[in-house]
Amino acid sequence: MLRRCLPSLWLAACLLTACQPVATLPPAATVPSPAPPIATSIPYADAIQFALIGETHLTNVWAYYDEPGAAYNNRAVQAEFWPSLFRISPVTGAFEPYLAGTHSPLEPDSGFLASTVTLRANLFWSDGSPLTAEDVAFTVNSALKFNLGFDWSAAYNADILDHAAALSPQTVRFYFRTQPSIEQWQYGALQGAVVQAAFWRPKLMEAESLLAPNPNIDQDILALQNERALLELELKDLLAQLALFDSSSSDFADVNTRIYARQDEINGLDIRIENKRAEKESAFAAARQKLYGLSAQGEPTFGPFTASRRGADEFENIINPFFPLTPPNFERAVYRVYPDEESATRALFAGEINVVLDEDGVTPPREGEVGVAPQKIAFAKSNLRVIAFNLNRPFMADVNLRRAIACMGDGRMISSVHYPDGLILSASQFGVESEAFFPCAGMPVSERIAESVKIMKEAGYSWDVEPGWDGAARRGSGLKRGGESFPPITLLVAEQDPLRVHEATLVVDWLNVLGLNAGLEGMDATDVFFRVYESGDFDMAILGWRLARLPSYLCEWFGGFNPFGYARAELTQHCDAFTSALDLDVARREAVVIESLLAQDLPLAPLYSEVGYDLYAGVTYPFSNVLEGVTGMYGAPWLAIPVLR
């Protein structure tokens, strides 16, 4: 899955009791007193200062979670402004309540599958007005009405989610057309953003008016589709009749003429249906454009911080006094825009800012920099690179050879990349540690060579000169199996990526240590894609994916069209159980089993993921070893702790 993940808040240590008694909310006109500060021994400071690199343009919430608002700086300044019912902790990967306390099992209801979500009591927007189930229902139905994309559609999927309804101030019911998967429910609707209905409802009216230049367009499309279906049935009957007549008879000619006429009618209906759909999409596009341009000035939000001062190259958020959870350790979060990373880093060393934010992490500072000594923290990115094997090649179909290759793997020679031992990169990704270590995990190079040679010898391979280790790798030669020489093999790699090419070179070197007579073929990434996914003309290839938090990719790699030639009935059964699971614990157990099967069979093996760097000074964070790091949490000002001098 290539979809951008929704921002997350670490709540494991600060959530209030999830299931609380239902309380009567104050009337909408009543503004409660801000929550009193929570006593804490953690240091407190006035402001945390962030450096943003490059142009920064803020959007409203509708664009923020859609493609027009996906720019990193926009996401960073407004991170955690809009709540969700549940969240995935970026630190532990745990599924946690946020606005909600509970959700009921899905059950049949009026032709739908429905679930009721109960909100926690006494929730308020940043203006002190109650946050209620009506806000949730309004947000869901608005996203569906405008057919919004990107993170909106990931949460509120119009293909399966029909609508939501507020049953009371603290209960909202979701109505699905079909059974939602965990991706569509726990990782979808339950994590979708929520906005304040009172602020946005009147603003949306003008955009909504653009949705229906023809209010009957859906009925028109349905009527045309029904007419087409009837013609399809008639055409099918005519084709059956045609088979009963001699091709030289007048009856055959008559039926054949009617067949062509019906096909022409169907073709005409297809054009009319497509034109109606284009008309509808044009209306959607115009309405969405209007929606994205609506002013959000004065919008109430929910989160540790809320919007304050806005300038051309500086943005400020202030603490939200109505936030019900543990407050941040800073009164303000200030974001300053710098033209490039070098100027931002100079400002960090000068003590002008605390954290440098850049989407891919920052370049580590040079030795000997003068000024404030920053923390340089490496983090693993979620862009996994793997070695994929073509099991349709007879020599690659041998799992023992693949195990020996995976055992040798990359040689673990580069300090600037992360070498995972599994396909689930971190517990912070899905709440489970990878338990399916691939061959030779944790072994030094000398032991890897010995283990690879052992695997191959036990499988019937032999060499004229056996590989080994004499303080350095000793290259093998004359590799044979069953008396037959092993054929040359080629590793494909996208040549646009220097790091991928460098790693591929190391892999080929190690393959040749094993005596495999391996070569490297660099080409354009589109050509690699074609060779793997279209023509199937490859032995091995280095492929890359950006991994989502939900590891459904473990099954997607081998479902449907499978370019690797890999199939295992047991894997299919567990993938079916994973995708149909309604309980996260069940899904986690299935993911562990699936990863273990892949580690046994090795249609592909993890190679590396890139490393980024967080750079900060004067602050610290209460966690480490988190996938995508502080950068992936947009600097997490709600978690940062000042270092007081």
* Least confident interval from 37-51, 100-114, 461-475, 553-567: 37-51
Q: Do 262 and 388 lie in a common domain? A: no
Burial label, 250 (beta-carbon count in 10 A; 0-12, 13-18, 19+): exposed
Q: Do 593 and 451 lie in a common domain? A: yes
364-417 per-position pLDDT tens digit: 766 555 566 688 898 989 999 999 999 999 999 999 999 999 887 544 455 567
Q: Where are the alpha helices (DSSP H) in 514-583?
A: 525-530, 553-556, 569-580
Mean pLDDT for 247-256 is: 90
What CATH number did the domain enclosing 455 receive? 3.10.105.10
Check whether 465 has a pLDDT greater than 60. Answer: yes
Check whether 35 has a pLDDT greater than 60. Answer: no
Mean pLDDT for 276-291 is: 84
Question: In 3D, which of 83, 94, 76 has the Cα closest to residue 630?
Answer: 76
Q: Do 434 and 532 lie in a common domain? A: yes
Q: Where are the alpha helices (DSSP H) in 177-249?
A: 197-209, 217-242
Check whether 290 has a pLDDT greater than 90. Answer: yes
Domain assignment of residue 308, yes or no: no
Domain assignment of residue 161, yes or no: no
Q: Do 532 and 389 lie in a common domain? A: yes
Confidence grade of residue 40 (pLDDT, cut at 50, 70, 90) = low
Mean pLDDT for 544-549 is: 88
Q: Give helix 569-580 / helix 584-601 axis angle, nearest 10°.
A: 160
Domain assignment of residue 87, yes or no: no
Question: In 3D, which of 639, 633, 638 has the Cα closest to residue 5?
Answer: 633
Q: Do 449 and 596 lie in a common domain? A: yes
Domain assignment of residue 445, yes or no: yes
Question: Residue 186 in contact with residue 95, Cβ under 8 Å?
Answer: yes
Domain assignment of residue 1, yes or no: no
pTM beyond 0.85, yes or no: no
* Least confident interval from 24-38, 587-601, 622-636: 24-38
For the beta carbon of residue 434, count every other beta carbon within 10 angstroms: 24
Q: Do 398 and 266 lie in a common domain? A: no
Check whether 21 has a pLDDT greater than 70. Answer: no
pLDDT of residue 11: 31
Q: What range defines the domain where residue 460 resides?
A: 380-611
Check whether 38 has a pLDDT greater than 60. Answer: no
The residue among 40 and 548 whose pLDDT is bigger is 548
Q: Do 591 and 458 lie in a common domain? A: yes
Q: Which of 239, 258, 292 is the last residue of a domain?
A: 292
Domain assignment of residue 21, yes or no: no
- The pairing of strands 171-176 and 112-119 is antiparallel
CA distance 207 to 34: 35
Max avg pLDDT among 396-410, 440-454, 600-614: 600-614
Specify the long-range contacts of residues 312-315, CB closer than 8 Å, at least 24 apart. 313/56, 313/337, 315/56, 315/58, 315/77
Q: Do 270 and 406 lie in a common domain? A: no
The dihedral of CA 575, 577, 582, 583: what is its sign?
negative
Q: What percent of the chain has pLDDT over 90?
A: 65
Question: Residue 162 in contact with residue 104, Cβ under 8 Å?
Answer: no
Domain assignment of residue 466, yes or no: yes
pLDDT of residue 221: 82
Check whether 22 has a pLDDT greater than 60. Answer: no
CA distance 298 to 627: 34
Check whether 2 has a pLDDT greater than 80. Answer: no
Q: Do 517 and 406 lie in a common domain? A: yes
What is the tally of structural domains in the chain?
Answer: 2
Q: Which of 248, 276, 292 is the last residue of a domain?
A: 292
Mean pLDDT across the chain: 87
For the beta carbon of residue 460, count every other beta carbon within 10 angstroms: 12
Max avg pLDDT among 29-43, 374-388, 513-527: 513-527
Q: Do 387 and 512 lie in a common domain? A: yes
Check whether 555 has a pLDDT greater than 80. Answer: yes
pLDDT of residue 368: 55
Confidence grade of residue 10 (pLDDT, cut at 50, 70, 90) = very low
Q: Which of 265, 292, 319 is the last residue of a domain?
A: 292
SS3 at position 451: helix
Q: Do 477 and 587 lie in a common domain? A: yes
* Least confident interval from 118-127, 435-444, 513-522, 628-637: 435-444
* Least confident interval from 188-197, 202-211, 367-376, 431-440: 367-376
Domain assignment of residue 173, yes or no: no
